[in-house]
Amino acid sequence: MLDILRAIKSGQVNPRNVRPDDRRLCVAHLVGEGLSVSEVAQVLRISVRTVARDRRAINEENAIQPDARLAGLYAGRLAAEAEATIGRIRRVTRDKDTPHAVRIDGEFKCYDVLDRFVQRLQSMGYLPTAAHRIQADLTHNTGDLSSLAELKAELTRLESIDAECRVIESDGIGDAMDDASEGDLPAHAGEHSALRGPAGASVPRAQTRVERERLEEQDIKRRIEEKWRTKKPDVQDL
């Protein structure tokens, strides 16, 4: 890549004859050196649009995909860089000709690098942090608001659904109560669906358990009174 740059600068190679992959490597190198898009275009003797297109392709190639191991990899790289930085600073401060003020400042920089590294690990979740109070405002974006006609139509639709649900619910409750009424009739009633009153008239089917119990109690009292009248001796016969 460096040979291609030297050849382009010396005029030995025509930039138009350079392969796109090699040209992108040259663009990446020059951008890393701090050159702007126009400066890169001038060095490589290509258009600004070509440089912008190459930079976009380079960014797409270097795109990072979501990976659970990515945080650990960068945390390890950060730890290695922090140790290397501290080592370089202390190597400079160990020189005999280094002033004392520079040595003190170097030690402070080493501490600062380590402190920043610990803070970074805390932000990445590798070290615990103290509890923080979070205070924020919540903004809800509802998007485009519906018109009045649309709101009325939606209200009508919901009301119709509610009415249908009420009808279905009432039918289901009625069927369940009918089944329960037929199953809870007393044994002496046989297969009849109504109880007999004192005068032999039929009593309407009970719709609730409380009413059924009350009718059963009345029927039992009626039977006891009938048996008592049949067995009670007549005073005139004595």
How many other CB atoms are found less than 10 A from the CB of residue 215? 19
Distance CA 217, CA 112 (A): 91
Among the residue ranges 43-47, 57-61, 135-139, 167-171, the one predicted with the least confidence is 135-139
Mean per-residue pLDDT, 203-216: 63
Q: What is the residue type of 187?
A: A
Question: What distance in Å separates the CA atoms of residue 202 and residue 195, rounded to the nearest whole number?
Answer: 6
Assess whether pLDDT exceeds 70 at residue 185. no
- Could you tell me which residue, 163 or 177, shows the higher pLDDT? 163
Give, in order, the Cα–Cα distances in Å from 93 to each of 208, 216, 228. 96, 105, 121
Average pLDDT over residues 8-29: 83
- Name the H helices within 45-99: 48-61, 70-93
What's the DSSP call for residue 34?
T
> What number of residues does the chain have?
238
As given in the structure block, the two tokens for residue 122 are 């805390």
**Quick check: 189 pLDDT over 50?**
no
Instruction: State the average pLDDT over residues 82-97.
Output: 91
Overall pTM > 0.85: no
pLDDT band at 187 (very low <50, low <70, confident <90, very high): very low
The pLDDT assigned to 79 comes to 94
Question: Residue 223 pLDDT more than 50?
Answer: yes
* Burial profile 120-145: b = 16 or more Cβ within 10 angstroms, e = fewer: bbeeeeeeeeeeeeeeeeeeeeeeee
Euclidean distance between CA atoms 189 and 185, whole angstroms: 7
pLDDT at 142: 55
The residues that bridge with 203 in the sheet, in sequence order, are 195
